[in-house]
Amino acid sequence: MLLQVKDLVAKLREEEKIILKGVNLEIGRGEVHAIMGPNGSGKSTLANVIMGNPKYEVVSGDILFEGESILDLRTDERAQKGIMMTFQNPYEIEGVKLDQLLLIAYRKLHGEDKTFFQLDKEMKGLLNEVGLPTEFLERFVNLGFSGGERKKGEILQARFLKPKLLILDEIDSGLDVDALRIVAEQINKLRAEGTSLLIITHYARILNYIDVDKVHVYVDGKVALTGDKSLAYEVEKTGYAIVNGTADANS
Ligand code: ADP
Ligand code: MG
Ligand code: MG
């Protein structure tokens, strides 16, 4: 098993209110899982807690990666182990150019296994694949990028860095149909290259373009239902009330 989330309870460090209320989730090597859940149910919190964002605190439960607990590891140590997340709202990083970010992160993860020339060629190839001009490499990360360009930039970073586990936090939100297709194609390539994926989404729409092994319906801080792709379409039709009792619990 690549990732095991066990009875995970977590909250914001500064606050009392529990956001994750006992999340259980297992992702095997090479598997693609989708998590669907309503706004405010704690999906981004789950992604952040797996990544080790210090704003959040684990109250109980565990997160294992490749069989070992990662709770005591810092975010950069988790990244070094091969975990990566993309942001629902990608940050602007003024002063850091996209190619600097990519090259430094790549060397940190994979060392000197490729020459600068090879990496430069790969970056340009990926920009071309997602339909961004090569000049984007010289721009500060996300600064002045449109919503779609940011999401393309996020998925491009993942392709380049080749994580073992990639968590996508609403990569599909706000994308027009052409951009969605491009991002989905990149997800399929990541999967083909062996990356495991956790796709957090509101909509079944993106699942039209990719194969998923499992779909989890996530409501009020925990995984309430697990099924195959058909479950995603059912949720889209019925709403999250499909989960017994949660229509009340959520109002
Ligand atoms: P989702 O991604 O499913 O929309 P979130 O994880 O963003 O849900 O949020 C879950 C709950 O926790 C919400 O009530 C949200 O307001 C609160 N929350 C999460 N992160 C923060 C934060 N950094 N500051 C304040 N509230 C937060
Ligand atoms: Mg949200
Ligand atoms: Mg969110």
pLDDT value, residue 203: 87
- Whose tokens are 């092994």? That residue is 213
Q: How far is the CA of 135 from the centre of ligand 2 (A)?
A: 32
Q: How far is the CA of 205 from the centre of ligand 1 (A)?
A: 23
Q: Are 207 and 232 in contact (CB under 8 A)?
A: yes
Q: Is 194 helix (H, G, I), strand (E, B) or coil?
A: coil
Q: Which residues line ligand 1 (CB under 6 A)?
A: 12, 19, 37, 39-45, 55
Question: What is residue 38's DSSP assignment?
Answer: -
Task: Concatenate the DSSP letters of all residues of 44-86 into one string.
Answer: HHHHHHHHT-TTEEEEEEEEEETTEE-TTS-HHHHHHTTEEEE
Q: Which of 167, 166, 184, 162 is nearest to 175 (CA)?
A: 184
Ligand minimally distant from the alpha carbon of residue 19: 1
pLDDT value, residue 177: 93
188-209 confidence digits (pLDDT tens): 999 999 999 999 998 899 999 9
pLDDT value, residue 242: 81
Q: How far is the CA of 170 from the centre of ligand 3 (A)?
A: 7
**Nearest-angstrom CA–CA distance, 83 and 211:** 21
CA distances from 200 to 68, 110, 124, 131 (A): 24, 27, 28, 23
3-32 confidence digits (pLDDT tens): 999 999 999 999 999 999 999 999 999 999
pLDDT value, residue 25: 97
pLDDT value, residue 30: 94
List of residues 6+ apart from 129 with CB closer than 8 A = 156, 159, 182, 185, 186
139: exposed, middle or buried (Cβ count in 10 Å: 0-12, 13-18, 19+): middle
Q: Mean pLDDT over residues 94-107, rounded?
A: 97
Q: Are 110 and 162 in contact (CB under 8 A)?
A: yes
Q: How far is the CA of 183 from the centre of ligand 2 (A)?
A: 20
Q: Which of 134, 185, 133, 186 is nearest to 156 (CA)?
A: 186
Q: What are the sequence ranges of the domains in the chain?
A: 3-91+165-249
Ligand 1 pocket mutation pick from 17, 19, 171 by most atoms within 8 angstroms of CB = 19
pLDDT value, residue 130: 97
pLDDT value, residue 250: 42
The number of the ligand 1 atom at minimal distance from the alpha carbon of 218 is 3
Superfamily covering domain 3-91+165-249: P-loop containing nucleotide triphosphate hydrolases (3.40.50.300)
